[in-house]
Every structure is written in structure tokens, then in C-alpha cells.
């Protein structure tokens, strides 16, 4: 999502709130659970529960639940130790979150922590909270469609006048923002939870309902990872968000109609109008997320701060590694190399950096871009040993991940301004793409319908002729 909005490494990661705060809180109550990677489980204990569990599609949390129920403890180490890929496309993101939602609700229905023998009461509450959270799809979806129901159908969704809203609803809204900022300012900026959950709710709600109707139905779906996106395109999941956005936009006219024709309801109309604007803003960002931006690199570049020595044919330069991956490196030199660019560009040169043991490691790379202070090169690894060593240098040092943990904080006003800018920069192009795609689909359906209709008429004429 952040890639498509162009805000990667600006906004805290969506996972930060869970791994930096929630898991630490669960760990205090011996209820932090296994999340699929970067975990060590003692084999003899795992064998006691029959190995990794498979009753639900969230086998990791389910396995942790079984181990905790036997009285075994867990310890959460709050430092990133491995490199993992987020979903690169919105469709992959939806597949992943749908599986998480289905699995946690399966646990709630099939192995309800509240009635699980062996768990301490605080562990039960910890797991129960993790399960119930995923029912947010109902609340978020209702929040999106509610302001449509009053202006278009007259449903009394908000039985309050403007004075009551200012006296009761507004203080609640403001204090929610202030409390969220106080607790999570460094890991989740204000309104981002609303964006994440509202967009997800449209897709995971049907999955939640299907699990409730048949808890054993879901099957495990692997999240697509490492996708190579050559061109910009619109996510195939665009229609629900696009259609809902336009329905809310149309409902504005009904709100204005009620404002003119029902003067005694203007307080309620005003409240609903603000509600509609907020929902349009959230869904507008959702539409912006649907524009998949190109991602041509074969391997993700990891920010780095390693010291490096660069050897060309005739010169040696010192510098700092700015990013590195399995395919290439960017080094910022300590000195101006303008006079030596002819020795650098398009040539095979050597980079020496230290591995995790503090030993020098030589990397060979062909320079693809260079200027007065920067050298970017593509590695030339020819043997399995080269790849093994390169993998160790790139991924083994967990201190690299600390760069991603640099905390950035914005107050609610700054966050609001930031999101408005993101909306302005991304919405128009994404909406145009969605509109063109939607019109083309309607045309395609109309053509198919006319083709079927013509075939039926032709058959009828042939039958009458015979």
C-alpha cells in the first residue's frame, strides 16, 4: 500500500504497531504468539502438540495457543532478526489479510481461547483480543455505508441534533485522536488505522461471513511475494472501492436535497455531510492505493551504513554503503571522483566491506551509474559460494534492520495535512484509470449481452423458418 502511495520509508510500517507495542504487551502476560517467521520452537515441546497445527489457516498462532495451553512459556525478543517481504501488490495484500482474518476467526470458533483448558486468564484475554480484532470488518463496513442510508433512504442512523453532536460526539472523536497519538504516535500515525481497516473491510467481510457459516471451509493460500512489476497498472480488486466511492459521492446530492426540503433536519444533514466527506477521503486514498506502481528491481535494496573501500584499475576510494541487495550496491564516496569517472563507468570494479564476523569481503560489480560522489554497480556473482557469501553479507547482520526502526512522529494536524497532500498527488490519476477500466468492463458486458441476444433472435428466426 505504501509503495503505491509513494510513502514508503516516510510513514511507519503497518507492522510496527503490532511488533513494537502489542507483542511486547502480550509478552508481559506470557501471551505473545508465534507469527510464522523469526521464531525458535523447542522440538520436544512441539512434538507434544503433534507438530505445527493445521486445523486453521493461521497455523502459527494456533500452534502457539496449543503450546501455551500446555503451560509452556514464550519470550518475545523485540529486535528484527530477519528480512521478509511484504506483499508487493494490493491483490497480494488482500489475499494475505483475508487469510489472517479467516484463521484468527477459525481459532475463535474452533478453539475458543476463553474456554481453552490450561491457559491462564490473562492469556485467554490476550488471545481473545487477537481473535476478536478481526471482526473489525463489520464495524468498518457499516461505518462506510451508514452515511448513504440516511440521505438516500431516510434511515435514522444518527438520532441527534448538531448541539448534541458537538457536546458528545465531538469530544469523543477528539479524545480518541489524542489518546491514539499519546499511545502510538511513533508507530501508527493518526487516521492510518482507519485507512488500513476501512479498505480491508470491503474485501475481508465476505470471507469473515463464510468462516462463520462454515469454520472448516477456508484453505491456505500462499501470499504472492517477489513480484516483478514492469509497468503501472490498476489492481483487479478496484471495483468494490470504486463503486462505493461513487455511491457516496452521489449521496451528496440527496443530502443537499434534504437540506433544502427538510429544514428541521439540517443538523443531522450537516453531521452526515461531514461523515460522507470523511468516508470519501478514506476511499479516495483507497482508490489511489489501487494504482500499482512499477517495481523493476529484482531484489529489494536495504539501507546500509557500512564502511567500504572501492578499487578501480588505477585508484582506490573510501566511502559508505548507502544501500545493498543481492543484485547491486550503492556507495557514496568520501572524495570527489569526477576526474576518475572514465575509470569507473561501465567497468568491473571491486568493493570491500566487512562481513558479520568483521572480516573483509570482496564484492565484484559492474558500474551502471556514477557521478562525482556516488557509484552504483550490479554484482557479478558466478559461483554458488559467491551467492552464499553475498547472502550472508546482505542479510546476516541484523543491525541493518535497525535502520528501518528509526521512529518518525507526526501530530494529528501534521498527519492530516500529510494525508491531504498524498490524496491530491495520487487520487486524480488513479480515479481516471479506474473510470476508464470500469467503462471498458461495462462496454464488454454490454457487447456480450447483445451477442447472446442476437444469437437467441437468430435461433428463433431459424426455428420459425423451418
Residue 231 lies in a domain: no
> CA-CA distance, 98 to 91, in Å (whole number)?
10
> CA-CA distance, 138 to 204, in Å (whole number)?
9
CATH at residue 65:
3.90.550.10
pLDDT score for 245: 95
Burial of 269 (0-12, 13-18, 19+ CB in 10 A): buried
Residue 424 lies in a domain: no
Residue 430 lies in a domain: no
Determine phi and psi for 362, rounding to 5 degrees. -95, 125
Cβ atoms of 224 and 89 within 8 Å: the answer is: yes
CATH at residue 322:
2.40.10.220
Residue 195 lies in a domain: no
> CA-CA distance, 320 to 307, in Å (whole number)?
5
Secondary element (H or E) of residue 369: strand 360-370
pLDDT score for 74: 92
Residue 362 lies in a domain: yes
pTM over cut 0.75: yes
Count of structural domains within the chain:
2
What integer is the mean pLDDT of 122-149? 93
Cβ atoms of 225 and 88 within 8 Å: the answer is: yes
Residues 63-121: tens digit of each pLDDT: 999 999 999 999 998 887 776 777 778 888 888 899 999 999 999 999 999 999 999 99
Burial of 204 (0-12, 13-18, 19+ CB in 10 A): buried
Q: Percent helix, strand, coil in the chain (nearest 5)?
A: 55, 10, 30
Cβ atoms of 134 and 105 within 8 Å: the answer is: yes
Provide the H-helix boundaries in 53-120: 59-69, 90-110
> CA-CA distance, 158 to 365, in Å (whole number)?
64
DSSP 300-364: --EE---EEEEE-SS-EEEEEEEEE-SSEEEEEESS--GGGHHHHTT-EEEEEEE-TTS-EEEEE
Residue 249 lies in a domain: no
Residue 172 lies in a domain: no
3-state secondary structure of 406: coil
Residue 103 lies in a domain: yes
pLDDT score for 226: 58
Q: Which of 355, 390, 405 delimits the end of a domain?
A: 405
Residue range of the domain that includes 312: 302-405
Residues 10-46: tens digit of each pLDDT: 888 888 889 888 999 999 999 999 888 778 899 999 9
Q: Which of 354, 373, 405 delimits the end of a domain?
A: 405
pLDDT score for 69: 95
In which band, very low, low, confident or very high, does the pLDDT at 223 lie, cut at 50, 70 and 90?
Answer: low
Label residue 196 left, alpha or beta by phi (over 0 means left) and psi (-120 to 50 means alpha).
alpha
Residues 372-421: tens digit of each pLDDT: 888 888 888 777 887 888 888 888 777 777 766 666 788 999 999 999 99
Residues 334-355: tens digit of each pLDDT: 888 888 888 788 788 888 888 7
Amino acid at each position: 500500500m505504501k509503495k503505491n502511495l509513494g510513502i514508503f520509508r516516510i510513514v511507519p510500517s503497518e507492522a510496527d504497531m503490532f511488533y513494537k507495542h502489542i507483542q511486547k504487551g502480550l509478552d508481559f502476560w506470557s501471551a505473545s504468539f508465534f507469527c510464522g517467521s523469526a521464531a525458535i520452537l523447542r522440538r520436544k515441546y512441539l512434538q507434544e502438540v503433534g507438530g505445527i497445527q493445521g486445523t486453521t489457516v493461521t497455523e502459527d498462532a494456533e500452534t502457539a495457543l496449543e503450546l501455551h495451553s500446555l503451560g509452556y512459556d514464550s519470550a518475545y525478543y523485540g529486535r528484527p532478526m530477519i528480512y521478509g517481504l511484504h506483499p508487493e501488490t494490493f491483490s497480494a495484500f488482500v489475499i494475505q489479510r483475508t487469510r489472517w482474518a479467516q484463521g484468527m476467526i477459525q481459532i475463535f470458533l474452533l478453539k475458543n481461547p476463553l474456554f481453552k483448558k490450561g491457559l491462564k486468564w490473562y492469556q485467554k484475554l490476550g488471545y481473545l483480543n487477537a481473535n476478536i480484532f478481526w471482526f473489525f470488518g463489520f464495524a468498518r463496513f457499516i461505518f462506510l455505508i451508514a452515511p448513504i442510508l440516511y440521505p438516500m433512504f431516510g434511515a435514522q442512523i444518527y438520532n441527534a441534533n448538531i448541539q448534541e453532536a458537538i457536546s458528545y460526539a465531538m469530544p469523543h472523536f477528539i479524545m480518541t485522536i489524542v489518546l491514539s497519538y499519546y499511545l502510538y504516535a511513533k508507530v501508527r500515525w493518526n487516521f492510518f488505522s482507519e485507512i488500513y481497516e476501512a479498505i480491508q473491510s470491503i474485501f475481508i467481510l465476505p470471507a469473515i461471513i463464510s468462516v462463520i457459516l462454515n469454520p472448516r471451509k477456508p484453505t491456505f493460500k500462499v501470499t504472492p511475494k517477489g513480484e516483478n512489476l514492469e509497468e503501472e497498472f490498476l489492481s483487479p480488486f478496484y471495483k468494490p472501492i470504486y463503486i462505493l466511492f461513487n455511491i457516496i459521492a452521489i449521496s451528496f446530492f440527496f443530502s443537499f436535497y434534504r437540506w433544502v426540503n427538510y429544514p428541521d433536519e439540517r443538523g443531522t444533514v450537516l453531521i452526515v455531510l461531514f461523515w460522507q466527506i470523511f468516508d470519501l477521503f478514506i476511499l479516495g486514498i483507497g482508490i489511489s492505493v489501487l494504482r500499482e506502481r512499477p517495481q523493476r528491481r529484482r531484489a529489494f535494496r536495504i539501507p546500509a551504513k557500512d564502511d567500504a573501500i572501492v578499487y578501480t584499475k588505477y585508484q582506490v576510494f573510501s566511502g559508505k554503503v548507502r544501500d545493498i541487495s543481492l543484485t547491486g550496491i550503492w556507495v557514496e564516496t568520501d572524495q570527489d571522483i569526477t576526474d576518475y569517472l572514465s575509470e569507473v563507468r561501465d567497468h568491473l570494479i571491486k568493493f570491500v566491506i566487512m562481513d558479520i564476523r568483521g572480516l573483509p569481503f570482496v564484492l565484484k560489480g559492474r558500474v551502471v551509474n556514477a557521478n562525482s560522489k556516488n557509484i552504483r554497480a550490479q554484482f557479478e556473482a558466478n559461483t554458488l559460494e559467491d551467492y552464499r557469501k553475498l547472502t550472508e553479507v546482505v542479510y546476516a547482520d541484523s543491525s541493518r534492520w535497525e535502520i528501518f526502526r528509526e521512529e518518525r512522529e507526526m501530530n494529528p494536524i501534521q498527519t492530516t495535512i500529510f494525508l491531504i497532500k498524498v490524496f491530491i498527488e495520487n487520487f486524480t490519476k488513479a480515479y481516471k484509470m479506474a473510470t476508464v477500466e470500469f467503462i471498458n468492463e461495462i462496454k464488454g458486458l454490454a457487447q456480450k449481452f447483445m451477442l447472446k441476444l442476437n444469437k437467441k433472435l437468430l435461433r428463433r428466426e431459424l426455428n420459425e423458418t423451418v
